[in-house]
Amino acid sequence: MAKSEVRSKPKHIYSNECEKPGLILGYAHETCQTFQEVFDVMREDRRGAPTDEEQDILRAMLVIACAGLDQTLKQLIRDALPAIVARNDTAAQELRKYLVRKASRGDPEADEGLSVNIGFVADILLQANTRDACIDALAQDLAGHSLQSFDEVMRAAKHLGLETGELVAKKPDISKALKARNQIIHEMDIDFGAPKRNRFQRKREDMVNMTNAVLSFTDALLAKAEEVLRC
């Protein structure tokens, strides 16, 4: 049975707004392929379960794929959000909702207990171009922290006006990959309940499949952004 391989980067010429996100995604593909190739060379004449050192190569591969998702989406927000808001009704509506929340203290839907966030409103009004300042505030909010969950990624995608129906169907695979990534990054993959080793055991096929799920999902995000920008 043939082993699975890390998918190649898309052969695509991106629009101006998607050029830098596309470069980041391409680097993620290439680096993940390199880690897979290094692992396969290390395992070429060996049998049995991979060592911790060999599994570290697989761990690094998945971490890079998830970093590619994180940084591709953040760069897309920085470079494409203004153009998308200008031509996409969904993105414009999401921006308005964001501004209402930021400019309010309390629940904007409530009849009582609501006041104005004077500081935020004043900061926006003092800018030379208030519209650009509003979009920049949203961009900084969306890209200001690591996108470590599927819901956070979908929130950003919604603000970009992306059709998320097909993407939502990928939630189980992406959530699984992000969970593994967080275990590796934040917990060193420690598993003191394991009978032999004290780290989660990572199989090549599982790690390649999770890596490909993340890379494929990021490819789809960027392709959908291109569709919005062409409208």
Whether pLDDT at 40 is above 70: yes
pLDDT in tens, 55-109: 999 999 999 999 999 999 999 999 999 999 999 999 999 999 999 988 887 666 6
pLDDT of residue 94: 96
pLDDT of residue 1: 58
**Lowest mean pLDDT across 99-108, 141-150, 187-196:** 99-108
Whether pLDDT at 120 is above 60: yes
pLDDT of residue 220: 96
Q: What is the mean pLDDT of residues 195-203?
A: 87
Taking CA atoms, 133 is separated from 41, 84, 117, in Å, by 51, 15, 16
pLDDT of residue 29: 98
**How confident is the prediction for the chain on average, in pLDDT?**
91
Distance, CA of 108 to CA of 195 (rounded, Å)? 53
Whether pLDDT at 149 is above 60: yes
Whether pLDDT at 21 is above 60: yes
Closest among 189, 194, 221 to 56, alpha carbons compared: 189
**Lowest mean pLDDT across 83-97, 105-119, 185-199:** 105-119
pLDDT of residue 114: 66
**Lowest mean pLDDT across 91-100, 120-129, 131-140, 203-212:** 120-129
Burial class, 120, CB count within 10 angstroms (exposed 0-12 / middle 13-18 / buried 19+) = middle
Whether pLDDT at 115 is above 80: no
Q: Which two structure tokens, joined as six digits, stand for 198?
A: 């004290």
In one letter, which amino acid is 201? Q
- pTM as predicted: 0.90
pLDDT of residue 140: 93
pLDDT of residue 142: 93
Taking CA atoms, 213 is separated from 24, 45, 111, 166, 167, in Å, by 17, 28, 45, 13, 11
pLDDT of residue 45: 83
Confidence band, pLDDT 50/70/90 cuts, at residue 47: confident
